[in-house]
Amino acid sequence: QITLKESGPTLVKPAQTLTLTCTFSGFSLSTSGVGVGWIRQPPGKALEWLGLIYWDDSKRYSPSLMSRLTITRDTSKNQVVLTMTNMDPVDTATYYCAHFLTGANYLDSWGQGTLVTVSS
Amino acid sequence: DTQMTQSPSSLSASVGDRVTITCRASQSISSYLNWYQQKPGTAPKLLIYAASSLQSGVPSRFSGSRSGTDFTLTISSLQPEDFASYYCQQSYSTPYTFGQGTKLEIK
């Protein structure tokens, strides 16, 4: 059974850096064809794809956020870390991580999400 | 980026109705189209992948189809637990963009 869980601060100040950790079980990020994606959803709004890290440590980012985003992994801890710099109130959202399978390219298991509020 | 235009944005229907939600891609995405269901306060759930493949455990009343760059999610007979929001997502090229969502409400 695949499970994922996001953790990190619930409140950050404008201009600060957000660091979120996705801790997962039930799969290995070293297995060919596997990835972990990050998606966010502002309150009452649509889902937004942020980025993806693959089994071979390659990464893809949303072009609109690429300058602010970094995704890294620690395969020994079964964790993926999202770092977003220069946070703004418009970045207030629920942040999700999800298990990704290449081939058909879909997100088949999601974490519960964590709400991050950006406010002074 | 590939834009995904989803319609309608909201829909009222009754239990037992047949419902169709459409997603149009701004360019060719082959069949790299996924559908997710999201209930309030919970994470999205994968329903359909590769345009028409039913994810394991998803009821057969859900189906997906493709015609060129137009994609359709159909619920053949609405059940009370189907009232939720639905999102399409293209996974042909990054960024793997989502549609704006369809909120399905009880009439």
Q: CA B26, CA B33: separation in Å to the nearest integer?
A: 13
Nearest to B95 among A62, A106, A107 (CB): A62
* φ and ψ at residue B80, rounded to 5 degrees: -55, -35
Beta-carbon separation of A110 and B100 below 8 A:
no
CA distance B80 to chain A (A): 22
pLDDT tens across A20-77, in order?
A: 999 999 999 999 999 999 999 999 999 999 999 999 999 999 999 999 999 999 999 9
pLDDT tens across B5-64, in order?
A: 999 999 999 999 999 999 999 999 999 999 999 999 999 999 999 999 999 999 999 999
Question: Under a CB-based contact definition with an 8 Å cutoff, are residues B99 and B4 in contact?
Answer: yes
CA distance B32 to chain A (A): 7
Give one DSSP letter per residue of B37-55, joined into a string.
Answer: EE-TTS--EEEEETTTEEP
Taking contacts as CB-CB distances below 8 angstroms, the residues of chain B near A46 are 87, 98-101
